[in-house]
Structure 1
Amino acid sequence: MTFDSTRRRFLALAATSGAVGLAGCSGGAPSADQSTTTETTDSGGTATTETPAGSDSLPDAVGLETLATGFEVPLAVAFAPDADRRYVADQQGRIFVHGPDGLREEPFLDLRDAVTVGSETGLLGLALHPNFAENRRVFVRYSAPPRDGTPDGYSHTFVLSEFEATANGRRAKRDSERTVLEIPEPQGNHNAGSVLFGPDGYLYVGVGDGGSGGDQGTGHVSDWYDAVAGGNGQDVTENLLGSVLRIDNDNEQGGKPYAIPDDNPFAGDDGDGGAGLPEHFAWGFRNPWRMAFDRGDLFVADVGQSAYEEVSLVEKGGNYGWNVKEGAHCYSADDCPDRTPDGVRGGEPLRDPVVEYPHSGEGVTGVSVIGGQVYRGSAIPELSGTYLFADLAASGRLFAAIPSRDSDGGLWPTQVVDVADGDAGKASRVYSFGRDADGEVYVLSSGDDGGGLHRVVPA
């Protein structure tokens, strides 16, 4: 299926400006009017969720306090646990350090000699080991030229690597690289890129469906669903594309530089058993652009094809529908099932998102969802417990989703939160979000002063 004209025009504009083409066509305590619920989650531990009273309690606008500028396309930020220091990954291949004295000119890590940069390729993700203060281990996700094992005609190789930082945490040792995972990528788009540690201490990795459109074409395998040809989102045996992976980077197993957590859905299967590749945690994704944990809940924003954008609460073993569904709607078919056949993993349900919005209309609309963070800070109490996110096309605007824990499920109420007039120019295009140990949320974007790192503050 082709993209609608609005999306094509936006993507063409993004390409000419050098912006990343994410669209993939190509803590505070609860306030008195908030409820608190506690539940057990599959992604690790117990989740405590503060639910705002309603949309009328949210601010109409927020401000953006600029911490650093000078980036080209900033895509990820990580916060040092032992110092007032932020690490910012730039798509072009470098990671920079921002501290009390500002942005250090010398990069923390320079991978420009190894990274393939395109509209959706480059240096895409960054995570600090939970014990970074002691072990100085850093994990980086980037796109590289085709490596050994990448089939002829494929675009590039997905690389997840580990580096060791110096004792002072200001520089990564370039020669310390240890490749953890490589995945052949058929096309140059739908590369996802998030890497993050969960509350269980395991590393979660977002992987797109391999690119092109509709999860079809070169590198897209056959699946159980005949109404739409392809693809990788519904397959868990042939490759790791279209999924969220979970691996144990503190151990090695079976000749691999990581181990499989014992409770992964296909733990104990090497793929030959027919169940699934053991790295899989959840599947059915097109282009999971940015993931975030909040008190045990795993939020995954998945970029849509031509009509809907979505955010899901992801659980172990969950199937999130692509390419049978786009959001909660049938994709490229008048009718579609809401679960797999009984012979496919026992007839698992196709899970609907908690947030969905269209590519046209009023209010919350866009062309490429930018996954966000749940606000837990103290600067804007009215936002506590809401999921802040954005869209690549929503210039000068953020979105806020209000969690709903109704037993019947359904979509969460979502509304626009404008960036205040004086700061709107900083967020012409939002690429990513971050959250520090105090629960304050950060926006990585490009605007009047180029690429920047900004903290969300009262308007």
Structure 2
Amino acid sequence: MSSRRSFLRAVGLAGVGGLAGLAGCQTPDGQSTTRTSADVHAVAAERLASGFVSPVDVRAPAGTDALYVADQPGRVYNVDPEGGQAVALDLRDAVVDVSGYDERGLLGLAFHPDFPDDPRAYVRYSAPRRSGTPTNYSHTFVLAEFRVEGGAFVRDSERTLLEIPEPQSNHNGGDLAFGPEGHLYVAIGDGGGGGDAGTGHVTDWYERVPGGNGQNVEANLLGSVLRLDVDSRTDGAPYGIPADNPLVGRAGLDEHYAWGFRNPWRLSVDSAFGLLVADVGQSRYEEVDQVVRGGNYGWNVREGTHCYGVDGGCPSETPDGDPLRPPVVEYPHSGPEPSGIAVVGGYVYRGDALDGLRERYVFADWRAEGSLFVADPTADTQSDRWPVSAVPVAGEFAPYVLSFGEDRAGELLVCTSQNARVTGTSGALCRLVPG
């Protein structure tokens, strides 16, 4: 194992609803695949619930056997162990109308780490333009807190923590996750459009490529992963700023934890490998980043490990000498497999049912076509990249993967759809089981 990987394991965190028209777990007619993995056992998908439009997140809070599924048009469902489901929160009157190709909507869900003793939940959604959002912008990013009682969210308990003007409708990120220190990580895209340029995109230090919300940490909160303390207040804000956030006492907005992201679609926190963020690429490469405090992951100077917008000669560090950190996983849009068009972040597997996946990072491309990707963080290679295999999934597994989750036993959950757009009711929740 490389010294860099050992260091990151030691420090941990200290150191396309929301994709491309994100779209149940059923193999499409005629689907076949020759993609295999020599060292990972076969897996299958077992359907737990169905009938969703576009399920983009699933959570299993402590103290309950229920699973909560966030459906992109604006509802959260409570799914019981027998597959029964009830609406736990209906935000459709607060969320922008979404249908067809749309990257907005209800995009993220997280429960307080002390749940159910502290029965709060956090929801990330796209609202119509609110006060402070320019009239030529698309919508307003909203992060809100709700109280949960009897398995349902108390609608009139909503407390808005954060609002961010969003220039375009795409590249919203949207995932939420609590770290081991109890702080909330919030993934935010670069503001949309293409290339991190145009309306609502500021300039940065790299003059050869226009735009740069991902590289500018002073103008706005776009293109970053934020870290917030939901249990305190700082300077009158409805949330606290952790004292060890990297820009506290420096130039830049204190909420930033790491930056240089285009469209971080799904993140997870692992006990050994820390914060893992999947960042959807522009046109050539997809990536997964092992994110550290104050890390800069290169967009829009780099796309993965490659120059973006220029033919060679792009920098490997900022003018201040901070490195542009490479991903731990990268795959192309075309060429030898694995390949794809929009990465969907997953989890390092910590369950018991799938021996061949243990300590592997399981993720997917949105256009899954019957397979998942498995990366090995423990592989002893000459590269800092984690080797990746494509693993076919048997059983009820749809062609589009939207999101992953974990149940309370550490078994992997997958949200899928038969549709490439936000429409219909083919969205499903599955559990991965031995194939």
Report if TM-score (shorter chain) is over 0.5.
yes
How far apart are residue 437 of structure 1 and its match?
A: 2.8
Report SS of the residue matched to 2:214: helix
Aligned partner of 2:293 in structure 1 is: 316
Q: How does 1:233-244 map to 2 (within 5 A)?
A: 233-244=214-225
Identity %: 56
CA distance in 2, matches of 1:179, 1:355: 35
In the other structure, the counterpart of 2:19 is none
For residue 58 of structure 1, give the secondary structure of its aligned residue in structure 2: coil
* Map of 1:56 onto structure 2: 38
1:165–1:172 Cα contact (<8 Å) kept: yes
Matched, 1:67 2:52: no
Correspondence 1:109 to 2:89:
yes
Alpha-carbon spacing, 1:405–1:417, altered in 2? closer, same or farther (3 Å): closer
In structure 1, give the amino acid aligned to 2:335: G
CA contact (8 A) 1:42 1:316 kept: no
Distance 1:228 1:307, change over 3 A: same
| 1:83 Cα offset (Å) | 1.6
Q: CA deviation at 1:408?
A: 6.2
**Mean CA deviation greater in 302-311 or 359-368:** 359-368
Shift of 1:152: 2.0
Partner of 1:263: 244
Partner of 1:4: none
1:402 to 356, 360, 376: 376
Aligned-partner Cα distance in 2 for 1:394–1:94: 25
Aligned to 2:117, the other structure's residue is in SS state helix
Q: Residues 100 and 39 from structure 1, CA distance in 2 versus in 1: closer, same or farther, beyond 3 angstroms?
A: closer
Gapped regions of structure 1 (runs ≥ 5): 1-35, 46-54, 270-274
Match of 2:258 among 273, 282, 288: 282
Q: List aligned pairs for 1:134-149, cutoff 5 A.
A: 134-149=117-132
Q: CA offsets, 1:91-143, max 9 Å, x none?
A: 010000011342233x1000000001431000000000001111210000000
Q: Does 1:446 align with 2:423?
A: no
Contact 1:402 1:414 in 2 (8 A): yes
AA aligned to 1:221 is: V
How far is 1:406 from its partner?
A: 5.6
Indicate whether 1:292 and 2:268 are aligned: yes
Indicate yes or no: 2:39 matched with 1:41: no
Q: 2-side partners of 1:228 and 1:220: how far apart?
A: 12
Counterparts of 2:165 and 2:142 in 1: how far apart (Å)?
9
Question: Separation in 1 of the partners of 2:200 and 2:132?
Answer: 13
1:38 CA drift (Å): 9.1
1:431 maps to which of 390, 402, 406? 402
User: Normalising by the residue count of structure 1, what TM-score does the alignment of the two structures yield?
Assistant: 0.84
1:411 is displaced (CA, Å) by: 1.1
Give the superposition deviation at 1:438. Answer: 1.9
Are the aligned partners of 2:14 and 2:293 in contact in 1 as well (CA < 8 Å)?
A: no
- Aligned residue for 2:134? 151
Q: Which stretch of the first structure deviates more once superposed, 210-219 or 80-89?
A: 80-89
C-alpha deviation, 1:253, in angstroms: 1.1
Q: Shift of residue 447 of structure 1?
A: 3.0
Decide whether the 8 Å contact of 2:258 with 2:293 is kept in 1. Answer: yes
Q: Distance in 1 between matches of 2:62 and 2:135?
A: 43
* Residue equivalent to 2:333: 359
Matches of 2:123 and 2:205, distance apart in 1: 34
| 1:329 equivalent among 303, 306, 319 | 306
Query: Cα 1:94–1:189, aligned 2, differ >3 Å: closer, same or farther?
Result: same
Give 1:396 deviation, angstroms. 1.1
Cross-structure match for 1:52: none
Report which structure shows greater RCO (CA 8 Å, sep ≥6): 2
**Structure 2 length normalisation: TM-score?**
0.89
Distance (whole Å) between structure 1 residues aligned to residue 97 and residue 369 of structure 2: 24
Matching residue of 2:431 = 455
Matched residue SS, 1:286: coil
Once the two structures are TM-superposed, the CA of residue 57 in structure 1 deviates from its matched residue by: 2.2
After superposition, the Cα gap between the structure-2 partners of 1:231 and 1:38, relative to the gap in structure 1 and judged at 3 Å, is closer
Q: Which residue of 2 aligns with 1:7?
A: none
- Contact 1:359 1:365 (C-alpha < 8 Å) held by counterparts: yes
Q: How many residue pairs align between the two structures?
A: 399
Match of 1:339 in 2: 317
| Maintained 8 Å contact 1:312/1:352 | yes
Q: Give the aligned CA root-mean-square deviation in angstroms.
A: 1.8
Name the SS for the 1:132 alignment partner. Answer: coil
Give SS of 2:38's match: helix
Partner secondary structure for residue 249 of structure 1: coil
Where do residues 385-400 of structure 1 align in structure 2 (5 Å cutoff)?
385-400=359-374
Task: Work out whether residues 267 and 278 of structure 1, in 8 Å CA contact, stay in contact via their aligned partners in 2.
Answer: yes
Task: Assess if the C-alpha contact under 8 Å between 1:397 and 1:416 holds in 2.
Answer: yes
Quote how far apart the aligned CAs of 1:44 are. 4.5
- Read off the aligned partner of 2:224 and give its amino acid letter: S
**8 Å Cα contact 1:97/1:104 also seen in 2:** yes
Separation in 1, partners of 2:197, 2:430:
38
By how many angstroms is 1:363 displaced? 1.7
> Within 1, Cα distance between the matches of 2:341 and 2:321?
32
Per-residue CA distance 1:198-220 (angstroms, 9 max, x = gap) = 11100000000000000000000
The answer (yes or no) to whether the contact 2:288–2:345 under 8 Å persists in 1 is yes
Q: Deviations over 1:17-56 (max 9, x none)?
A: xxxxxxxxxxxxxxxxxxx9994325149xxxxxxxxx63
In structure 1, the residue matched to 2:33 is none
Distance 1:69 1:431 in 2: 14
Counterpart of 2:77 in structure 1 is 96
Matches of 1:141 and 1:375, distance apart in 2: 25
Instruction: Please state if 1:186 is matched with 2:167.
Output: yes
